Amino acid sequence: QQQVKQSPQSLIVQKGGIPIINCAYENTAFDYFPWYQQFPGKGPALLIAIRPDVSEKKEGRFTISFNKSAKQFSLHIMDSQPGDSATYFCAASLWDGDKIIFGKGTRLHILP
């Protein structure tokens, strides 16, 4: 009940395309869903996060879509750029909890 399943494991997209990364969770108590972005040789950094009271959140070219009934959420990157090439992790936790569960990550490569 604590897993967060992330797919695909890797993704290659042409510049300007819209990569989509999907995550599914099991614990219905989870109410905070962040995405972290990690560049090679660096630690992850928070990219965008959503709570289940909204179905979509946009920050610049990054959008989270959230489907509470399906227990799924996804990250969309509009007008993708080679600089977006990184590993992306979804995660889930309780808003006031003390543990966070990460997905296994998606290695994204944007072709120039």
Binding mask 6-45 for another protein (x = CB under 8 A): x--x----------------------x-x-x----xxxxx
Part in contact with another protein (CB under 8 A); list of ranges 2-10, 16-24, 58-66, 68-76: 2-10
| Min dist. Cβ of residue 93 to another protein (A) | 5
CA distances, 109 to each of 21, 28, 33, 36 (Å)? 12, 32, 23, 16
| Min dist. Cβ of residue 38 to another protein (A) | 8
Q: What is the 3-state secondary structure (H, E, C) of 37-98?
A: EECCCCCCEEEEEECCCCCEEEECCEEEEEECCCCEEEEEECCCCHHHCEEEEEEEECCCCC
Q: Which of 19, 66, 89, 110 binds another protein (CB under 8 A)?
A: 89
> Which residues are at the interface with another protein (CB under 8 A)?
2, 6, 9, 32, 34, 36, 41-46, 49, 89, 93-105
